[in-house]
Structure 1
Amino acid sequence: MERIVIISDEPEIRNQLTDRVRRILGDGLQIRQQTGRDASSQCKDADLVFIHTRMSRASSLEVARRMKKANPAALLIFFSENQEDVDFILGSDFDSFLWLRDPVDRLPAMLQTFEARFAANLEHFVRIKRRNRRQLLPKSSILYVERDYRKIIFHMDDGELISIYSTLDEVLQELDDSWLRIHNSYVVQEAAIRELHRDFLKLKDGSLIPVSRTYAAQAKQRIIPAAKA
């Protein structure tokens, strides 16, 4: 983990937690402190986010919800001076709870576990750089990838189009065997394919993607046996 965000409306608590984390993980770490009101936009490239359960100017649960939507790869720790606050966050999407007054310092073991968990999570995401900020795209949410001159366009399953300046070969290095190249300008998630025609594919969202002669035979070998199975 390289980027951590600590969210609290209380500067003293932010500073204390920042010092604890830095002592454990070292000075090379990038730690940003935020209040609840300005936090969501700053969490898009975070690896780990700490959210104070008690904030005066924002709902911690709402901040967590927005953060998870903007950055599903990040791990989330709620923290509080009160152990009873764990009941407040039950049912929400979080990875752990840190009790600040715990007589046993559980933070070192927690961070060690989370470093391993985050590294494993990266296998499920494509790493891109967008607007000078790193972003992680869930592979399962990408229907297909299109090259348009110097741009790469990720077509997401919710209809969003995400454009970056890169090459298709660089993107392919981030993808696994569940992806199929069908054209010099297109790579498709195999699970998104619904129909194979002579010179195009139909995807589950209705998109029609051209299949070039160069890749047609390989596409048929992969898709037709999978459909029969």
Structure 2
Amino acid sequence: MVVGYTSAFFRERGREVQIDTYGNGTGLLESGKQYDLYLLDVMMPGLNGIETAARLGKGSSPVVLITSSLEAAVDGYSVNAAGFILKPVGKKDFEATMERVVKQRLGGDDACISVVHNRVPLQLKLERIAWFENRLHRVFVTLTDGEVISIHQKLTELQEELGGYPGFLRCHQSYLVNLEQVERLEDSCFYMKDGQMIPISRNFYKQSKNAYYHHRLK
């Protein structure tokens, strides 16, 4: 259950994650692997979660303890636990703790936009977005890794939502681009870092040119 919650938590926020599981603390420690975040059950066989966290050291990545006892949570402060999740683990409480820990300890405050893909709400980090394209009565998002996903919002809605981020520019009736992903401006086109060409329409050209050079001078 916890593995499923963890996978869904990061996936829905547009963050790639690799999850490894261990049956006990000894197996984790003997693996020699370093992780960005540890979710440790206090009642693991052998070395319990608190003992495992102690051996990881206070300078390690954040540790979240999963426990059925508030008393164990008190002990968790001795190993500088970043958070606690009480059993039985509920999705709402799990996400609330993870939101806080990720924001405080893993830079989870990166700017994101909420989108709906295949009826599933996602949080896309803005830095992952290259451009939005309105095509065939749908909006498609091209990501910096080349992946393309379709979403349900309209381009005008996205433009309004991104109004507080000057790095995103409406340059055409059908395109909204991330200026961080623009390689150069040439004629009436933006040439993107991946080699693709995004047209700039006449109605948007002046503001696009000004926004591009202003962005480059930042």
Q: TM-score, normalised by structure 1?
A: 0.60
8 A contact 1:52–1:80 mirrored in 2: no
1:156 is matched with 143
- Structure 1 window deviating more from structure 2 (159-168 vs 209-218): it is 159-168
Output the amino acid matched with 1:186: Y
Q: Secondary structure, in 3 states, of the residue corresponding to 2:145?
A: coil
CA distance in 1, matches of 2:170, 2:188: 14
In the TM superposition, residue 206 of structure 1 has moved relative to its aligned partner by: 0.7
CA distance in 1, matches of 2:84, 2:138: 42
**Gapped runs of 5+ residues in structure 2?**
29-35, 43-47, 77-82, 86-95
Q: Secondary structure, in 3 states, of the residue corresponding to 2:12?
A: coil
| Aligned ranges 1:35-54 → 2 under 5 Å | 40=7, 44-45=11-12, 54=22
1:114 is matched with 100
Cα separation, partners in 2 of 1:169 and 1:122, compared to 1, 3 Å? farther
Q: Secondary structure, in 3 states, of the residue corresponding to 1:221?
A: helix
| Aligned ranges 1:79-90 → 2 under 5 Å | 79-81=40-42, 82=48, 83-86=50-53, 87=55
State whether structure 2 residue 156 is matched by structure 1 residue 169: yes
Output the amino acid matched with 1:98: L
- Identical pairs, percent: 22
**Gapped runs of 5+ residues in structure 1?**
1-5, 9-33, 61-67, 69-75
| Aligned ranges 1:1-229 → 2 under 5 Å | 6-7=1-2, 34=4, 40=7, 44-45=11-12, 54-55=22-23, 78-81=39-42, 82=48, 83-86=50-53, 87=55, 95-98=62-65, 100=67, 101-104=72-75, 107=84, 111=97, 114=100, 117=103, 121=108, 124-175=111-162, 176-227=165-216
CA distance in 1, matches of 2:172, 2:13: 34
**C-alpha distance after superposition, 1:9-67 (max 9, x if no partner):** xxxxxxxxxxxxxxxxxxxxxxxxx59xxx746863379xxx996448xx99xxxxxxx
**C-alpha distance after superposition, 1:99-126 (max 9, x if no partner):** 6334458648x949818948x9466111
CA distance in 1, matches of 2:66, 2:111: 30
CA distance in 1, matches of 2:134, 2:59: 41
Aligned-CA RMSD value: 4.2
CA distance in 2, matches of 1:7, 1:89: 23
In the TM superposition, residue 78 of structure 1 has moved relative to its aligned partner by: 0.8
In the TM superposition, residue 138 of structure 1 has moved relative to its aligned partner by: 1.1
Cα separation, partners in 2 of 1:134 and 1:204, compared to 1, 3 Å? same
CA distance in 2, matches of 1:113, 1:210: 39
Q: Secondary structure, in 3 states, of the residue corresponding to 2:156?
A: helix
Q: Secondary structure, in 3 states, of the residue corresponding to 1:206?
A: coil
